[in-house]
Structure 1
């Protein structure tokens, strides 16, 4: 199961590298795509939840690192709740 990272830019210009234990995130994010904050969070929850489930299917346990990454994304996103037109940009996948 290939590990994948996706690099994002938050609405304030800050950038972050995000971890996924599975390449399934490439089904949810494409480089250059821009998402309203709420849509980015929904996609992150689904992508990282699916990635963790793939680990469970292969190894018999969920991926805590995927859930930790989701928690970090949700925490970082709190800075932008209530900001009109807050957009997250996917810079790349690798």
Structure 2
């Protein structure tokens, strides 16, 4: 099941009345949407070739990014109490294989 995008969740919260329209929150949601889309389209990581470190990594379930794939940049959210950081933060897609 695909999760809702940050914008969809924000609009739903506005409709339900749990959020008030806020230009600063809208800007944060827009930036979270960019990260959300990048994570949705990023290819799954591939396991590394060999070596002891790689073998331990495989044992622990760690994977390396696909060659030529830049990591998705995060977003630092700062603001006063009641600005929506906690409410708007957990809007990113679930990793593949976890529901």
Identify whether the pair has TM-score above 0.5, normalized to the shorter chain: no
Structure with bigger strand share is 1
Structure with bigger helix share is 1
Structure with the greater alpha carbon radius of gyration? 2
